[in-house]
Structures are given as structure tokens and as C-alpha cells.
Amino acid sequence: MTVSPLEFLFPRKCPYCGKIIIGDRLECDICRAGFPQKPYIRIIPGGNECVAAFKYDGVVRDAIKIYKFYGKREFCKSFSAALAQVVYEYFGEPDLVTSVPLSKKRLRARGYDQSELIGREVGRLLSVEYMRTLEKIIDNTEQHSLSHEERKSNIIGVYKRLSGIRLNGKTVLIVDDIVTSGYTLSECCRILAENSDVRIICGTVASAF
Ligand SMILES: [Zn+2]
């Protein structure tokens, strides 16, 4: 395999182990071979099903942190490919893909919405339209810094459905990077299902439980 001048100067690295990868691979062969054989399935509060490609620990946790906090947005390709595969295997093809949004303040600080990037790529891989359906109107305390009980109340009223969104009769996949308590996804499902005859399924790169 030939290495392009760009790859030579800026080699791409495996998101999980840091080894240099060439060609169109998204991760190295060793990490790829170690991917879980089965998806992680959860029922989140409120009863919606959530499928995750990985357990949130070890090299996957490190990779997601680097993706979110150190600007490695190219990691979204590997995460999305793994997620698209488990979504397709477990649920089949949705009609629409959406994602849990960041607040405007956090989006400005980070420069990208990590879950939207994954949602858009999952949509592209499944040949399904991606659409923004929600906005985060309150910049609440980050869920991961709170206790399980605090997370439940911390999320109420934080998200709003965008106007003009019609979901009737659709199966909608909502994507997030990680599921922990499930309250964030649960609240987003509740809002999207309001006054709609819609089936909402959830997909995350990793599950903390
Ligand atoms: Zn690797």
C-alpha cells in the first residue's frame, strides 16, 4: 500500500491505541479484532431501548474523552461505523437520525457538537436522513458530575423540540456519545414523542452500565 504525502506528514492514528494506521482503515486491525461481538442493550428510564457499540471503559473511554475534549473530531468515523452496525443489526434501518444537542454556550467552547457529528455519520452510513430536532435551552450542570438522583431532576426542562419538526409515523434514532443514567436520552425521547405517533430508538457509542 502506498502512503500519500499527506499521510506521511500527518499520519492518522488508531483512536483506541494510538498506533499509526494507513489507507482507509478507521482503527488498527488489533483494536478492530477486539471489538465486542454483541451490542450492549439497555432499557432507559421511560422504557425506550438503547443500543451501544461498546462498554464505556478502558481504551474506549479514553478515546471518547480525547474525541470530546481534545478536538479529535476525526475519531467520529470509527465510533459511527461501530454504532451504525449495531443499530442496523438490532433495530434495522430507522427513518430518521437525530442527536442529543449541546447548548449554544458549550458548542461555542468546543467548536463542534460531538453527538451531531456521530449522528450525521451514522445517517450517511445507513443512507438515512439526519435532522436536528431538539435544542438545549438551559446550560445545566454536566450530568457526569452529579449523583444518580440529582441527574434525574437536573435534566428536566433543559431541552426543547425545534418548531416545524414532523415525526408522525416515523422510527427515529436518537444518537448520543455515551449513555450513563439514561435520563438525558429519556428526556429527549419524551419531548420527541409529545403529540406524535413516533417510535424512538436510541443509539450510543458506549454504555456505562
Ligand atoms: Zn488500535
Q: Are 171 and 199 in contact (CB under 8 A)?
A: yes
Distance from residue 56's CA to the centre of ligand 1 (Å): 16
Grid coordinates belonging to 196: 406524535
pLDDT tens sequence across 134-191: 999 998 887 778 887 888 888 888 999 999 999 999 999 999 999 999 999 999 999 9
Distance from residue 182's CA to the centre of ligand 1 (Å): 29
| Separation between Cα atoms, residue 82 and residue 150, nearest integer Å | 31
* Residue among 203, 206, 178 at smallest CA distance from 189: 203
Grid coordinates belonging to 71: 478536538
Single pTM value for the model: 0.92
List CB-based neighbours of ion ligand 1 within 5 Å: 14, 16-17, 19, 28, 31
HSE of 38 in the Cβ direction (CA atoms, 13 Å)? 3
| Separation between Cα atoms, residue 121 and residue 90, nearest integer Å | 18
Distance from residue 117's CA to the centre of ligand 1 (Å): 21
Distance from residue 55's CA to the centre of ligand 1 (Å): 16
Give the domains, in start order, of the chain with CATH numbers.
Answer: 39-207 (3.40.50.2020)
- What phi, psi does 101 have (nearest 5°)? -85, 160
